[in-house]
């Protein structure tokens, strides 16, 4: 058990020790990390840090005490709703991250089903196999049955199979834009039609895509309808700290109307402290996460985001071309910042281990086994380095014993 020191230490010493401790962490500043961190450049990082510290001590729990934060949150949410084709009267909240956003959307859908549909007793949620585990977590917390449906051969939501999985106790359908494992946008329009016919709540998990897909579309890519443009979509989750390039932790949970949003809010007055209203899973919300999101979005604007995301898609295209020449097969037809690719002959887990030894910290999929990259603007500068190391790692894998999934941690 680590005990607190009797006397404090100088900050200069502590700072040096913290920097030294980080020397063994993933080298994201060098572009060698394609998960967890979104490197949009030093200009954005500087805005993040200064804007965060300006409101680091303020608390998003108290809008009456800090009306500045309330105004910034409303403006950030407004920008998100506007980008995602929300109608007049739409509403939303900044949360701590995608899991928070998804959990609160599930809570809203459950309470809506109880109040508006008369649901009493067990409930279930129907989602593609590729949907994020945050839905499983939310379902476990609220004792909701999670029904995962296999994806089609295109690795996208199988809408017919999902329809068969629904019943009178289904509170939510889920589609991803895109799914994290494959980086592919589900059949949101078809899911919207299904939701309309069955009178079901459709949630689109755009935690990854919400703040990149609109700009990629502006840049000319044929992004299919995936947001509130699809009439059946009732709620969305979109992470600011991913492709919004804002400071962690910040996400948005968005609703088609204020009436739907109200089902998310927790309101308690039966205790000695008076009435407490919290819109998210957390009570206290760091003011810095809100202020940094507001600052970054205004710093970049539409023009800045289009430029940054243009670098991301160029990097993805270069990766696709490069890995294909090495004998890998790209999964599906990615359009945003995620790309996953498998190999018919080489063991990708062994390749991953070799890349890890060269300093690359990326991700994997297990079904099918594939290498997985979530790209940032900075990766545009290091694609050639990645592909050279991948070629070497692939060659090394050909002469090594296959050790399986867990070998990546060796």
Q: Residues 342-389: pLDDT tens digits?
A: 999 999 999 999 999 999 999 999 999 999 999 999 999 999 999 999
Q: Give the pLDDT score at 269.
A: 87
Tokens of 210: 């919400």
User: What whole-number percentage of the chain has pLDDT above 70?
Assistant: 97
Taking alpha carbons only, the member of 125, 127, 155 closest to residue 141 is: 125
285: phi then psi, degrees, rounded to nearest 5: -125, 125
Q: Alpha-carbon distance 352 to 360, whole Å?
A: 9
All structural domains of the chain: 15-43+302-401 (3.90.1150.10), 48-297 (3.40.640.10)
- Residue 169: pLDDT over 70: yes
Q: Give the pLDDT score at 93.
A: 95
Q: Residues 37-81: pLDDT tens digits?
A: 898 999 999 999 999 999 988 777 878 788 999 999 999 999 999
Q: Give the pLDDT score at 408.
A: 40
Q: Alpha-carbon distance 385 to 322, whole Å?
A: 11
Q: Give the pLDDT score at 400.
A: 54
CA end-to-end span of the chain: 27
Query: Span 394-408, mean pLDDT?
Result: 60
Q: Residues 119-156: pLDDT tens digits?
A: 999 999 999 999 999 999 999 999 999 999 999 999 99
272: phi then psi, degrees, rounded to nearest 5: -70, -15
Q: Alpha-carbon distance 353 to 365, whole Å?
A: 14
Confidence of residue 25 (pLDDT cuts 50, 70, 90): confident
User: What whole-number percentage of the chain has pLDDT above 90?
Assistant: 83
Q: Give the pLDDT score at 27.
A: 85
Taking alpha carbons only, the member of 76, 78, 103 closest to residue 91 is: 78
- Residue 276: pLDDT over 60: yes
Q: Please tell me the pTM assigned to this model.
A: 0.92
Q: Give the pLDDT score at 219.
A: 97
Name the one residue in this structure whose structure tokens are 């490069």.
Answer: 322
Q: Alpha-carbon distance 272 to 40, whole Å?
A: 47
- Residue 403: pLDDT over 80: no
Taking alpha carbons only, the member of 187, 108, 180, 191 closest to residue 152 is: 187
């Amino acid at each position: 058990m680590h005990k607190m020191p009797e006397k404090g230490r100088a900050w200069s010493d502590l700072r040096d020790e913290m920097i030294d401790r980080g020397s063994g962490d993933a080298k994201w500043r060098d572009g060698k990390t394609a998960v967890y961190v979104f490197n949009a450049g030093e200009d954005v990082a500087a805005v993040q840090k200064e804007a965060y510290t300006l409101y680091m001590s303020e608390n998003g729990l108290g809008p009456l005490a800090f009306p500045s934060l309330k105004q910034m949150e409303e403006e950030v949410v407004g920008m998100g709703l506007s980008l995602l084709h929300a109608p007049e009267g739409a509403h939303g909240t900044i949360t701590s991250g995608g899991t928070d956003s998804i959990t609160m959307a599930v809570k809203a859908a459950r309470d809506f089903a109880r109040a508006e549909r008369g649901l009493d007793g067990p409930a279930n949620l129907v989602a593609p196999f590729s949907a994020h585990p945050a839905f499983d977590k939310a379902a476990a917390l609220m004792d909701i049955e999670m029904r995962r449906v296999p994806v089609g051969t295109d690795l996208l939501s199988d809408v017919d199979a999902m329809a068969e999985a629904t019943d009178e106790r289904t509170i939510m359908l889920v589609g991803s834009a895109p799914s994290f494992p494959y980086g592919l946008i589900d059949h949101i329009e078809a899911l919207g039609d299904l939701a309309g016919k069955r009178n079901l709540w459709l949630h689109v998990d755009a935690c990854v895509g919400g703040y990149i897909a609109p700009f990629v579309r502006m840049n000319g890519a044929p992004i299919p309808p995936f947001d509130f443009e699809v009439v059946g979509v009732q709620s969305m989750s979109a992470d600011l700290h991913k492709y919004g390039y804002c400071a962690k932790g910040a996400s948005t949970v968005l609703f088609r109307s204020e009436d739907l949003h109200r089902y998310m809010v927790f309101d308690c007055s039966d205790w000695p402290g008076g009435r407490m209203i919290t819109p998210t899973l957390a009570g206290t919300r760091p003011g810095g996460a809100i202020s940094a999101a507001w600052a970054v979005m205004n710093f970049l604007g539409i023009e800045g985001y289009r430029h940054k995301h243009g670098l991301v898609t160029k990097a993805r295209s270069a990766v696709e071309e490069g890995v294909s020449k090495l004998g890998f097969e790209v999964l599906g037809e990615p359009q945003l910042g995620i790309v996953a690719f498998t190999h018919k002959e080489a063991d990708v887990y062994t390749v991953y281990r070799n890349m890890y030894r060269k300093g690359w910290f990326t991700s994997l999929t297990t079904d099918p086994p594939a290498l997985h990259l979530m790209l940032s603007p900075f990766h545009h500068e290091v694609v050639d380095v990645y592909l050279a190391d991948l070629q070497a790692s692939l060659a090394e894998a050909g002469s090594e014993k296959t050790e399986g999934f867990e070998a990546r941690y060796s």
